Chains A and B, each alone.
Chain A
Amino acid sequence: MDETVAEFIKRTILKIPMNELTTILKAWDFLSENQLQTVNFRQRKESVVQHLIRLCEEKRASLNDAALLDIIYTQFHQHQKVWDVFQMSKGPGEDVDLFDMKQFKNSFKKILQRALKNVTVSFRETEENAVWIRIAWGTQYTKPNQYKPTYVVYYSQTPYAFKSSSTLRRNTPLLGQALTIASKHHQIVKMDLRSRYLDSLKAIVFKQYNQTFETHNSTTPLQERSLGLDINMDSRIIHENIVEKERVQRITQETFGDYSQPQLEFAQYKLETKFKSDLNGSILAEREEPLRCLIKFSSPHLLEALKSLAPAGECRIQKPLCYSASYSQGTQDLSSC
């Protein structure tokens, strides 16, 4: 086994936390059950790693096996990377997409290897019709750097691919080209969507965020929710509050639904607006040119935060944030609170 490969495997295994080690090794499926049973996982991590490296040497692990382990580690720790979304498109009147996984893999690899002699490409298919691609970049003269790979998750027979953002930006056009040609598309465009959470990006882009539908079997949700009102108050005040709170709950539920929201950390809007003012001579009001600005919302969980704004009485949302067409087309009328 190559020294570099051994070093690479060692560093990868060292990254894995002890409680995940057996799971990941089983998913890797490179070392046999018997071999794994000989390892004492209760030792100090260094000793465990040494033992595992020896076993890998016995089995003559290749660079490809090591790359596969790296993919599995990344799949378990998706949130450590920031993912961008790319959308591909076909020309009009294209043939039906007859996606052949073997053909795609060969084509993708060939395109990259033709352009850059030194590149390591590895694939791992998942059950949800997605293929994880790992690319370690080199140049004409240097070997691929295994410690700064790029990951692409491509959902076959869809126009979407997710790419981990990396510092080596110069390879992005080549990667886009390889993906487009191998999947038989014409164009690739980067969407204005980025997140650490692949599942949330998937939910937004595939429009799978709300999977509850009204059928005749489902019962309509009851309005009896605890609204947390003070019982000692005058019952007439409680009644008025209930009516208003129920209205807010209903609008919030219609807009956001009952499901857990996709996890976004920030959203940015271009805003063009004119200010209204009752006071005469206000600086911002009564300008001919509208005011143009960029508004950025950020939060650990942006959509949940917005969802809880209205019931908390913090704002009035006039037009619902609807991401029915595409996420970047959400319009919002921010009235003064």
Chain B
Amino acid sequence: MEQANPLCPEGESKGGVLAHLERLETQVSRSRKQSEELQSAQAQEGALGTKIHKLRHLRDELRAAVWHRRGNVKACIANVEPNRTVEVNEQEALEEKLENVKAVLQAYHFTGLSGKLTSRGVCVCINTAFEGNLLDSYFVDLVIQKPLRIHHHSVPVFIPLEEIAAKYLQTNIQHFLFSLCEYLNAYSGRKYQADRLQSDFAALLTGPLQRNPLCNLLSFTYKLDPGGQSFPFCARLVYKDLTATLPTDVTVTCQGGEALSTSWEEQRASHETLFCTKPLHQVFASFARREKLDESGLLIDCFHCTGNTSEVSNQY
């Protein structure tokens, strides 16, 4: 047979068919590979495509969630803010109450007798006063046990605390406290009068004021007109009643010693009465006022005198 192969020349006709088949085979395998690659690429593409879809979906979900949360938080804040203002109001109200209570507790001081509970009893505070002036405070710390006892105190040593306690502490604690208040207030009052005399009216005193710790014996010398010619008076004030601020005995003598004129005698007697009935510094205040009145009277007299002398000098 004539093996005419239109595809290849004669030289290659021997291997022509097999070679052709080989070529065809390789072509097929090539194309098969290509199509496989194409398929796998397509598959990959598909997979990536779905992944993209999934991620997009997830992103959208998350975004939605975030917006949702933000919305919630805003709503929450809107809810919380009215609560916070309520809290602040409550705090202010409490602070106000606290200030009120503190003020009331301080006001108790003005009643003269106040106290505070302690771990073992009560600490009583006695605030003394005289003529509307608040003076020293004294404390008594009581232990509530059987028998009731005083733990410690700031009462001065010369106030008969043990005596008062022996009488009243176990049987009638009210009486004990009131009695102690009496003694302390009277002592504060006497001390106040003596201090005022020493500080405010030193000009009228001709010597130092003699006093004792309880201020229940005072002696001093004074002049109604300091620097004047009159004799000084000696006064001795005795306060036998320790619960009183006015003396029980007053003796006023004149230092001159010689026979006094009736006017001096009258003055002396009137001074004795004054010291018995009025607090000490008030008596001296009245002396000082009287002195000023007298002084102004004296000035008027001097004026008249100078008037006369000028007339006289004019004559010459």
Contacts and interface: CB of A to CB of B under 8 A. Distances in A.
A211 B213 contact: no
A202 B116 CA distance: 28
Interface residues of B, number: 30
A209 B154 CA distance: 10
Nearest to B154: A211
A206 B157 CA distance: 6
A325 B158 CA distance: 17
A158 B139 contact: no
A206 B159 CA distance: 11
A294 interface: no
Contacts of A97: 158, 214, 216
Contact of B152 (A98, A160, A207): A207
Secondary structure of the A contact surface, majority rule: loop
A213 B123 contact: yes
Contacts of B219: 100
B123 A215 contact: yes
Interface string B143-158: 0000001111110011
Contacts of A156: 158, 212-213
Given A101-B210, A156-B212, A215 B152 contact: no
Contacts of B102: 216
A253 to B, nearest CB: 11
Interface residues of A, number: 27
A214 interface: yes
A80 interface: no
Contact of B154 (A95, A158, A160, A213): A213
B158 A98 contact: no
B277 to A, nearest CB: 21
Interface in A246-302: 254
A308 interface: no
Contacts of A215: 116, 123, 125, 139
Interface in B156-171: 157-158
Interface string B63-75: 0000000000000
Contact of B214 (A157, A207, A210, A213): A157
A215 B102 CA distance: 11
A96 interface: yes
Interface string A208-231: 111101111000000000000000
Contacts of B139: 213, 215
Given A95-B240, A324-B149, A158 B212 contact: no
Contacts of A216: 102, 105-106, 116
B217 A98 contact: yes
B216 A214 contact: no
Interface in A123-180: 129, 155-158, 160
A99 interface: yes
Interface in A8-61: none
B5 interface: no
Contacts of A324: 149-152
A105 B237 CA distance: 20
Interface of B: 102, 105-106, 116, 118-120, 123, 125, 139, 141, 149-154, 157-158, 210, 212-214, 216-217, 219, 238, 240-242
Q: Which 7 A-B pairs have the closest CB atoms?
A: A157-B158, A213-B139, A129-B213, A99-B212, A216-B105, A157-B213, A158-B157
